[in-house]
Structure 1
Amino acid sequence: MKHSRETRTPANGTKRPRREAKLNVDWDLDSNDEDSDVDDHRKSQEDTLADAQEHAETPAEKRLRVAREILAKVQASQRRAGETGSDEDGSGSDEDDDDDTAKLNNGLDPVTQKLHHDLLRAEGRLRRPVAAALKQEDISYHKCPRTHRLSVTCIALTGAEDVAYTGSKDCSIVRWDVETGKRVTRFPGRPATKQIAASSIKGHHDEVLAVAVSTDGRYLASGGKDKVIHIWDARSNTLVDSFSGHRDAVSGLTFLNGKHTLYSSSFDRSVRAWNVDEMAYIESLFGHQAPILGIDCLYRERAVTCSMDRSVRYWKFPEESQLVLQGVHKSSIDTIAMADETHFVSGSQEGTLALWSTAKKKPSSIVRRAHGDSWICSVAAMPNADIAASGAADGYVKLWNVDTTVRRIKAPSLMSLPVPGYVNALAFGASGRVLLAGCGQEHRLGRWERKSGGRNTLHIFRLPEYVHDLDAAAALKEAAEEAEREDAEAASDEEGDDK
């Protein structure tokens, strides 16, 4: 069939002329003047657009933009001088954060140091060296009253570190005032029975296994064995919405720092992303071959999970991809926490504490029998610091020096904080002011053993001022290193005198 090119006739009957005219360009003419006019016009448009963007941004955004520009110039000059090296594994930006703090005092002027400091803090990449200075006698302890009837299984702490939430096997969620250690309110929830239908219960009707709170403290998310994720308005303590996408128990919940994006893990072996602002489901990712037992994330759209299949997986949600990290464990990996964007700490049923890195598919460092014969029930890591905590059923919470620069957990532990019972959940404050421990008489996932000396409540450890004061922590570490150097020099001088 031949297609004829005909002129379409409008409804009024008049023919529309076809456009035959073409743009004639004389390429032989000297167009330098015209090009300069075009360039001037384009440059004026760009300047106008830049001015509009500058007027539209907030003061905080402007400071951040200026800091980025200064840092870009400094880093460019360092590259030209040959001061910066290439990545160890060539993997790109995920490994660029390890030496960011070291650059603060690398010959930069005070203004640039301050801008670099503020930028790294805003992006969550500021390293805090506190392990060398932390002393057990500087940590104060506060025991909260018993509130839950059954074991505490999970903890969530707001970004301001003033409010905490605990979930329990008794289906309830309790809000705590961290400053006073007192219970503020209890969210509804009770076990379903033959007399009480699950549909008539407002809240969870089975064990709560996971809670998470947004950084601004506005939304609280909770999930458990009833396969439902409840979203609560933390300001009014009311139920806002419920997500029912998982086909098995919800084992882990975590909010992306600074955003209302929620990640969840489940016994159904899936990881799901939710938009809490829109109360909408985003996507699901699969990969684990057994139930997922824990999940954690920090600032980027990344999450890390652990599973009964004895593997750890690092998820990249925008790319819908995953990095499989297979350990040397002989049993399930029960708990995991991110120390920074590329390093995370896990604990297993065989009692092994492990440090992982995205640059290596096996643990970079392991500590076997970290709690003796007890399996590790919970771990927590102070964000972008060199401190991690682990809890078990041996009656102690142990603090560890986690050096991500050499990717090693230094054994033995720094100290042991006495906490009776099963330590089922741990949470560090974002600034490092507090360490919370949720305890109970039973393990969070079962009833294999009962510790009669345990209390089904929250334990609060208040850390000293220098832990959350970066400058003070850096000064203390520098003083400690200086003292070590002086001791070494004195020892060498004594050896020389003896000779």
Structure 2
Amino acid sequence: MSSFFTIPGAQKKRKRAPTTENPKRDPMAPLPKAPESSESEDGGFDEPEDAQEGSDSENEGETAAEKRLRLASRYLENVKEQVEVGFNAEDVDREILLERRLREDVAEAKGKVYRTIAGELAPEKASHTLFRGNNLATTSVATCAPFAYTVHKDRTLVKWRLQDLPANQFPQTTKKKPKKQAPPRRQPDKVLSRQGDRAKAAKNKNYQGHTGEILCVAASEDGQYVVTGGSDRRLIIHDAKTLKPLRVFTHHRDAVTGLAFRRGTNQLYTASKDRTVKVWSLDDGPPFAYVETLYGHADEVVDIAALAQERCVTVGARDRTARLWKVVEESQLVFRGGGSEKKTKADHINPKSLALENTMDRVAMLDDELFVTGSQNGSISLWSISKKKPLFILPHAHGFEPPLRPEEASAEKIPDLKQVSPEQPRWITALRTLPYSDVILSGSWDGCVRLWRLSEDKRQIEPVGVLGQPSGVESEEGEVLVNGNHSDENEPWFVKGVTGYAWWLPWAKEHRLGRWKTVKGGKNGAVVFEIPRREKDVANGDDSSNKDVDMEG
């Protein structure tokens, strides 16, 4: 009787099936033909259809790695041909341009910062146009070239048109080059205006209009819709051409404080004092659609921002958090502020005025991984979605408010100087960026806009210049350039025909959410700043950087 333990070892081994091929292969022999690989095996390279027809026989024996190398080489050749167009090889290093183009392509595909244009701007040469109507404080502005939309606390929505430059402003002659002339100031024209009526709303329950202060406005990129939200808890969608209300939503339980369209789509995000964020779809036209509600903030949601991906960033005021909402994944990332600032040893600054970050009021996205926030203590923070704490904090970005005099701070005849509060930093009341670039703009009640840029290592915020002059500072002509509270600002709008950029900025005597701070001598209206690019960037007729910044609000 045989068993496993009594069978000889030679019989225990499994017999292999006979093979006709020689197991020993010459290491110098070519590799066997690889099967046709799929898109994932090729690493994402897709061969053009016209190139596939005549290359089947030539590339019959190539492997997946050889195919990737061949397609990458073809891509580099195409990029080289594009880079050479419009450049002089004697003045421009071709290899540097090629490297820059490749970096921009990779960064654009990943949704990261890929345009460094802050150094090209000349804020000291910026021109401005101040326009105003017979309205109360301007709370917000939205642009969709060539139109802009402003909203006011008197329940008014106004449509403006920016005048185009004349065609013969810079005539071209063959005999003599024309002298450089500054472009004329372009006074916007008032196109339409629509104001809410409380009396009609009291009589008609189906009244489609605002009954309270309008706090925010947003315009779709396709130019079809203009959306407004106000303290009356109403979200109203207007026809952009006629400003006629198309639909009124009352889903929010408190004031609507922020609006943001997802770039390239008609998907809308709204923020409210009821501590929620709601998602809407305006793709199918009226009657439109409510999608879902996002919960998480412990206090009022006062600002919101969004880019191309299906996600948005919000700030929650006194809960001192910024939240990144991933709509598809139904999840959120929480970024907690509230950290103390570095104490300064400057003689003119009272250490008691360097307060903690008690609120987060403003937010703007640089790209899909970086965003900035503005706080009531006057600081601007740079955040990354991969870290819970800010990468960089810029304290008291707009300086300090002069302290009150002793007789103003106390009712006593002989006030105690020790009890007088020190100077306080100015709040960050407006914060916006030029998406996918290194440009950051901030505003406060000092009457000017400050221009910042993201450092090369993307870990710091550096100053660039100032637009306008602080309140009370007069120009050479004796005109106060801008005086008021910078309440909000929209994305930069590239002005065709001018080698530079333009920003539509609202100005008001008071904050958009309250009247706890009123600027004396301030104006209610809006300002258009036109910032030229430096001359060295447009030398030899090279205006190539405009191809990446041709944006319309």
Structure 1 residue 318: deviation in Å?
A: 0.6
Give the structure 1 partner of residue 265 of structure 2.
259
Give the structure 1 partner of residue 334 of structure 2.
324
Q: Which of 128, 140, 156 pairs up with 1:154? A: 140
Structure 1 residue 342: deviation in Å?
A: 1.3
Give the structure 2 partner of residue 86 of structure 1.
none
Provide the rounded CA distance (Å) in 1 between the counterparts of 2:68 and 2:533.
Answer: 35
Give the structure 2 partner of residue 388 of structure 1.
440
Q: Which of 156, 162, 169 pairs up with 1:178? A: 162
Q: How does 1:55-204 map to 2 (within 5 A)?
A: 73=68, 125=112, 127-144=114-131, 146-158=132-144, 161-179=145-163, 180-190=186-196, 192=198, 196-197=202-203, 199=205, 201-204=207-210
Q: How does 1:61-460 map to 2 (within 5 A)?
A: 73=68, 125=112, 127-144=114-131, 146-158=132-144, 161-179=145-163, 180-190=186-196, 192=198, 196-197=202-203, 199=205, 201-278=207-284, 279-308=288-317, 309-327=319-337, 328=339, 330-372=357-399, 373-403=425-455, 405-410=457-462, 412=463, 414-418=465-469, 419-429=482-492, 431=494, 433-460=501-528
Count of aligned residue pairs for this structure pair = 382
SS where residue 290 of structure 2 aligns?
strand
Distance 1:352 1:114, change over 3 A: closer
| 1:131 counterpart letter in structure 2 | A
SS where residue 302 of structure 2 aligns?
strand
Structure 1 residue 125: deviation in Å?
A: 4.9
Alpha carbon RMSD of aligned pairs, Å?
3.6
Provide the rounded CA distance (Å) in 2 between the counterparts of 1:459 and 1:124.
Answer: 31
Structure 1 residue 394: deviation in Å?
A: 1.2
The answer to which structure has the higher strand fraction is: 1
Provide the rounded CA distance (Å) in 1 between the counterparts of 2:143 and 2:391.
Answer: 29
Distance 1:456 1:198, change over 3 A: farther
Quick one: percent identity of the two aligned structures? 35
| 1:445 counterpart letter in structure 2 | L
Distance 1:115 1:451, change over 3 A: same
Provide the rounded CA distance (Å) in 2 between the counterparts of 1:316 and 1:435.
Answer: 30
| 2:279 counterpart letter in structure 1 | A
Provide the rounded CA distance (Å) in 1 between the counterparts of 2:483 and 2:135.
Answer: 16
Structure 1 residue 321: deviation in Å?
A: 0.8
SS where residue 529 of structure 2 aligns?
strand
| 2:262 counterpart letter in structure 1 | L
Tell whether the 8 Å contact from 1:291 to 1:307 is kept in structure 2 after alignment: yes
SS where residue 300 of structure 1 aligns?
coil
Tell whether the 8 Å contact from 2:160 to 2:192 is kept in structure 1 after alignment: no
SS where residue 489 of structure 2 aligns?
strand
SS where residue 142 of structure 1 aligns?
strand
| 2:253 counterpart letter in structure 1 | R
Name structure 2 gaps, 5 residues minimum: 1-34, 39-47, 51-66, 74-92, 164-185, 340-355, 400-424, 470-481, 495-499, 547-553
The answer to which structure has the higher helix fraction is: 1
Name structure 1 gaps, 5 residues minimum: 1-38, 44-52, 56-71, 79-104, 476-499
Tell whether the 8 Å contact from 2:112 to 2:369 is kept in structure 1 after alignment: no
Tell whether the 8 Å contact from 1:466 to 1:472 is kept in structure 2 after alignment: no
SS where residue 124 of structure 2 aligns?
helix
Provide the rounded CA distance (Å) in 2 between the counterparts of 1:201 and 1:191.
Answer: 9
